[in-house]
Structure 1
Amino acid sequence: MKLRPSIGDPELDAALVVRTDYGNEPIWRAIVAELRQPWGEDDEREALVHIVDDPVWSDATVEEVRAVARTSDRTVFLADSTAMNHSHFALLAIDLDVTEGTAPGEDTFRLEPAAVQEVHMQRFIANVGFTDYVEQAARDSDNVVWSPY
C-alpha cells in the first residue's frame, strides 16, 4: 500500500469526494457540477462537498483512502476510473465503519453523484446502514443507488 498524504480537513457535515482518475477533465468537471447541485425534494438544501482533486491520489486504492479518511465521515466517495467511464458517473461509496469479518462487496457500492448528499447525510446521522445501500444497489439493474429526488 502506497502512503498517501492527508485528504485535508473537510467541514464536519460535508461529503468527502476523492478523485482518483485523471484521464478525462471534461468528465470530471461534469461530475463536480452534479455534486454541487442543490438537493432535496425542492432542491432546498445546499450541497456540501469537500472535493480532493490532487493528482497525488491518482489510482489510489480503497484501502489507501480508508487509511487516511476520518472515521467521522463514515462514507467516502471515489471518482475512480469506473465512475469516469460510467454513463451516469457512478461514484464508488466506501464504508469507513468496516468491521472484522465484513465480506468482500459489502463495504462498497456505486451511486450517481446526485445521490451523494442523501447517502452522506443518512450515514452521518446513522439513520441508514451501509448494507442497506449495498442491498439497494444490488436490486438495481445497473447496480447503482439513485437519488430519491
Structure 2
Amino acid sequence: MSMRLPDAPYGLVIRTNRTDNDAWETVVGLIHAGIAELAELYPGQEPHPLLTFVDDPGFYELSPDQARVLIDEDQDWEQHGTVFLADFETMTAPGRTLLAVTGHSGDDDAGARWYFRLRPAAVGQVHLALSTKMSFAEFVEDVGDDGVYRY
C-alpha cells in the first residue's frame, strides 16, 4: 500500500466516502458539538481532544482493513493508534455513526475486536480517553448489540 496516514500531530477523522458533502459537514459539526459538550462537563480544565479532519480524495474508499494497515505502518503509534472513519454508513444512515479502527499493535489479546461504531458526539471523548488512560478493548466492552458504542 503506497498511501500513508497524514503527518498530523492530532487524532484523525478521515472521510472515506464522498457521496454527500452536506452529510460530511453535518458529521464535522456534530463532532465539534460533542467536544464543546465535553468541555462543559469539565469547567476550568478545558479538555481539548485535538482532531484533524481529513477530506482527501486519496482516502476515499479506504476500507477498515486498509486503515488498520496504515495505523500499523504509522510512526506515531501514540497519536494514531486509533483513527475514526466517516464511511458510507456515516454519510447515509440516520445516526451518522463513524467507525473507530485500531491497529494490530492495539490488540489486548489475540482475536480482540479492532473496530466499533460510535456517534459523532462521542468521537472527542473516545479520542481523549484513548490518548490518556483507556484501552480500545475497554470501549469495545461497552458496545451495544447493534455494534455502536454509546456513552
TM-score (norm 1): 0.80
Given that 1:27 and 1:84 are in contact with CA atoms closer than 8 Å, whether structure 2 keeps it comes out as yes
Q: Does 1:28 align with 2:28?
A: no
Given that 2:49 and 2:127 are in contact with CA atoms closer than 8 Å, whether structure 1 keeps it comes out as no
In the aligned structure 2, how far is the partner of 1:81 from the partner of 1:133? 22
1:58-69 aligned at under 5 Å gives the runs 58-69=60-71
Given that 1:95 and 1:108 are in contact with CA atoms closer than 8 Å, whether structure 2 keeps it comes out as yes
Given that 2:11 and 2:127 are in contact with CA atoms closer than 8 Å, whether structure 1 keeps it comes out as yes
Structure 2: where are the runs of 5+ without partners? none
Q: Which deviates the most, 62-71 or 76-85?
A: 62-71
Structure 1 position 99, deviation (Å): 4.1
Structure 1 position 39, deviation (Å): 3.6
Structure 1 position 113, deviation (Å): 1.0
Aligned pairs, number: 139
Which residue of 69, 81, 104 maps to 1:74? 81
In the aligned structure 2, how far is the partner of 1:65 from the partner of 1:32? 20
Q: Secondary structure at the match of 2:140?
A: helix
Structure 1: where are the runs of 5+ without partners? none
Q: Does 1:115 align with 2:130?
A: no
* Bigger proportion of residues as helix: 2
What amino acid is the match of 2:14?
V
What amino acid is the match of 1:134?
V
What CA RMSD, in Å, does the superposition of the two structures yield over aligned residues?
2.3
Higher relative contact order (CA 8 A, sep 6+): 2
TM-score (norm 2): 0.79
1:1-149 aligned at under 5 Å gives the runs 3-11=1-9, 14-37=10-33, 38-40=36-38, 42=40, 44-69=46-71, 70=74, 71-72=77-78, 73-96=80-103, 97-99=105-107, 102-103=110-111, 106-125=113-132, 127-137=133-143, 140-146=144-150, 148=151
Percent identity between matched residues is: 27
4+ aligned runs moved over 6 Å, structure 1: none
